[in-house]
Amino acid sequence: MTTGAIGVFDSGVGGLSVLHHIRRTLPDERLIYVADSGHVPYGDKTASYIEQRSIALTRFLLSQGAEAIVIACNTATAAAAATLRRDFQCPIIGMEPAVKPAVAASRSGVVGVLATTGTLESARFAALLERYGGEVEIVTQGCPGLVEQVERGELHSPKTRDLIARYTAPLLDRGADTLILGCTHYPFLAPLIREVVGEDVVLVDTGAAVARHLQHRLQTELPARIAGNASTQFWTSGDAAQAARIMSVLWGEGVNAKQLPPAFSGG
């Protein structure tokens, strides 16, 4: 029998939306979360830059006892998942915009995607569109600035509302009745998005599906392991005090965020 942790990383605090689902699905696990806030947002970075950050964060999480890694970031999944799976032997679980369930949910035949530029321009996303785009019309919208609003904890501010209204309007004008939240930061904006777009629009994110997939991978690939001690540790490559403040709001209880060691912070 072995014990270990599950490592989760994101460009910043958005991956906490996935961590919530993991905690609910696997309540007895030791979870380690890294917010790469010193390098946020990933959406405007090159794929090679994101790949190098993802490698560094994975190495850190493994050094802390992680036996499986969740890339709680759509942009990092697109840029680095293949490399991480090639270079590391543990289960690597990534994100992808929930195109398949959104297609199934749409009544109008038009699905909108809210995502970062990095996700929308990736080959991985292009493959998703090719696989499911024939069934419905898929309309995409890059959302510069939304990640930064979540990183600041501005979940309900007038500026955030204005950005959401600007980005959702073209999708609704095209007839979209289903919106994919294609970035792990965006579920924290779901209440405000709901206010802007109305009750009739379906909002889709993939956090719960990722948690279920992680559970399955652990059961099938690491059947001898036992869960950790039901704790959650938080790390950041940015300012620890600021990260702790925002994380506490998003996590729903007080968070003590530790500073990532210099060898992994990329500073």
Catalytic residues: 73, 183
Count Cβ atoms below 10 Å from residue 175 Cβ, excluding itself.
14
Closest CA to 92 of 181, 186, 183, 210: 210
